[in-house]
Amino acid sequence: MPTSIPLGAPIWADAVTPDLSGDLDFYMRLFNWAAFDSGEQFGHYTELCLGTTVSEARAVAGIAESASGDPGSSWGVAFHAGDCVTTVAEAEKLGATITSHPIRVGDDLVYAALKDPDGGAFGLFEPLSDKVGFTARNEPGAIVWFEYVYDGAPVEAMQFYSELLNWSLKAPEGGGPERDAPYVGLWTHEGLAIRGHHVEFGGARMALGPELKMKPHWTVCFGTDSVDLTAAKAVDLGGTVAVAPVDDPGGRMAVLTSPTGAFFTVMSSRE
Contacts of 82 (CB under 8 A, 6+ apart): 7, 126, 189
Which 3 state secondary structure label does DSSP give 78? strand
Average pLDDT of the segment spanning 107-122 = 94
CA separation, residue 250 to residues 19, 57, 73, 183 (Å):
33, 28, 27, 11
- Counting Cα atoms < 13 Å in the Cβ hemisphere of 212 gives 4
Kindly calculate the radius of gyration of the chain based on its CA atoms and give it in whole angstroms.
18
* CA pair distance 140, 131, nearest whole angstrom: 22
DSSP type of residue 83: S
For residue range 81-102, what is the model confidence (pLDDT) as tens digits?
Answer: 999 999 999 999 999 999 999 9
Question: Does the fold of domain 143-268 match that of domain 10-127?
Answer: yes
Reported as type and span, the H/E element at residue 184 is strand 183-186
Reported as type and span, the H/E element at residue 166 is none
Q: What are the sequence ranges of the domains in the chain?
A: 10-127, 143-268
For residue range 191-221, what is the model confidence (pLDDT) as tens digits?
Answer: 334 444 467 788 887 777 777 888 899 999 9
Best CA proximity match to 186, nearest among 270, 79, 110, 83: 79
Q: How many helices (H) and strands (E) does the chain have?
A: 4, 16
Best CA proximity match to 82, nearest among 142, 169, 6, 26: 6
Q: What is the pTM of this model?
A: 0.89
Best CA proximity match to 106, nearest among 152, 41, 173: 41
- Using pLDDT thresholds of 50, 70 and 90, give the confidence band for residue 76: very high
Residue pair 196/271 in contact (Cβ under 8 Å)? The answer is no
Answer yes or no: is pLDDT of 179 > 60.
no
Best CA proximity match to 11, nearest among 68, 79, 61, 62: 79
Q: Which fold has domain 143-268?
A: 2,3-Dihydroxybiphenyl 1,2-Dioxygenase; domain 1 (3.10.180)
- Using pLDDT thresholds of 50, 70 and 90, give the confidence band for residue 130: confident
Residue pair 215/207 in contact (Cβ under 8 Å)? The answer is no
Which 3 state secondary structure label does DSSP give 64? strand
Residue pair 128/107 in contact (Cβ under 8 Å)? The answer is yes
Which 3 state secondary structure label does DSSP give 250? coil
- Using pLDDT thresholds of 50, 70 and 90, give the confidence band for residue 174: low
- Total residue length of the chain: 271
Residue pair 146/79 in contact (Cβ under 8 Å)? The answer is no
Q: Which fold has domain 10-127?
A: 2,3-Dihydroxybiphenyl 1,2-Dioxygenase; domain 1 (3.10.180)
